[in-house]
Structure 1
């Protein structure tokens, strides 16, 4: 017990193993990318990935997700290497979580819990903290029995932030009451924020959207000359930031929103829908994409699907595609003697430009926010889009610009 307490008080990062499954819906190549992302999430939370495990399944084991042989293999490694935490890429049921934790004898998290933990550590404003706390309680409620023993053994560390530390001794009835109170609190804050949005006047509203860690906050700082926190971590920005920007004497409001991610927890989607009112009420969406990521097209699809869930009228908005990080883009050089068709791995930036310009006309820009490459071109494109909307909405004010 004394050794356990000393370990938890240490500032050393926790050692983690990552665990995933291969299914007919999630082939091996997809799993590799998901595990890369899970490792990035773990790193963001402050853990070091020691090893990855995975298993091909026709159907998940209702008791432990994985087969008994694989579970024993992982348990043996966890105990021999003194692993602190086992992180599953897929969401575990309360019974699976309880059973696996008994076998591994260490903390067990799933992807949802890990993301909630990161959000808890990143939330700064009262509004964001309330939203995260609501999502945590909604996740905690069906797992309450397991979490009692879970928290009696472990204090602090990844997965331990938030309401669990303060109110896990409460029963389900009190947890439900807490959820109800948090929802009421969010409704009151929503009304206040709606008034704030109404007081911003009649300016055109532009929102930055995109997958997490694509450079939205860096771009926000460039365009608005502000100092929004930006870092090469997932979910570096959690609170919505709104700034007034003036391009060529034309003012508009620019909003930086929380980044999206695949398998985003349902609890977070629900609790953060109010934050994304800025997306719903925006006139222009600037969809920022990390073109250096090998699967950026899937990221685009994830963001588009999430936005459709938030705003069914997305088709009525003007959308600009901004492909960021061109300074980091790389591709496989195709042998001149190779007569096989070129693949996306062989596409140069010019190939992508021709593809996307052909589909999307003028509302596509390729930039590097960190190197400030093509930023002036981006500003000019934004100005043209905003000016066009301004002329339609305020035809008698055009002489000002």
Structure 2
């Protein structure tokens, strides 16, 4: 097992510098980040589901130390993780008039210097939060908020895991990218069956296949793999439960840029190809936003709003992209971008579901057929 156990809190350790990352609940109601006041970091909660977004500062009695991480909960409280001398202390923060209330949940001890612990993306429902502790030979999933008696060890997974994507609306089925035997493959972890592990992606025997993003409504998956081009990772897509292989559109390759999907339009239950996908594109001149649908052969490039908390955002069901930003003039803002549908853009080149091959099919020796996603266990469970 990964060397982690529940322990009381102690002093902080400096293992990384806080980042101005904005994390949004699964339903889009709240967000949380570490904000900077001069040289001091403090937690801040954003309320996003009202007529206008607004921020509530949640400072403690002293500035936050390096390595601190925050995550919004569905009830408006903010979960905070504070690393301290091999331990990770978890508390819930909430506003109390002019001050900040704090409910101590407990701590997870990781005495092994090779173990790293971080919070997993916000779970559906918003009433629970999870963390992943990665050790030398195994990885552990912890329930760190929402349990009956503080942090609870849920699952131990052989191998070193990374990533973290929820595949259902119930917060039961978690996908992780597991490194084992020199290769990285996405696997499914069932948290209600003792952490039972099943394979999810097996595009080729000697490929690294990672799951970046998933939409539980449509089953659309965004994948990064070197199967089509050994030694070079490509961004691709598939549908959980489909009989078709993963496809790697040429339009998702932007020269000299890193392309990372960060949001999928929900609600497109029967039409995964029509889901809009928001992309963060990082290039020599900065970061901007791309919008793409699997049914199209092009990416629409959009300027990011000033002060965009890069990589943060969400779609509404009716296709409006919401991008949180913060500037000197606007501390808490959300830019709303409406993207025309394919029917409203005659320049779009639609593709039918049955006619989308892997673009630029790689030549031998990497012409082996990808494994269709319907061979992944639990495919029917997570697409219902």
Please confirm whether the aligned pair reaches a TM-score higher than 0.5, indicating the same fold.
no
More helix by share: 1
Larger radius of gyration: 1
Q: When you count strand as a share of all residues, which structure comes out higher?
A: 2
Q: TM (normalized to structure 1)?
A: 0.29
Superposition TM-score, scaled by structure 2 size: 0.30
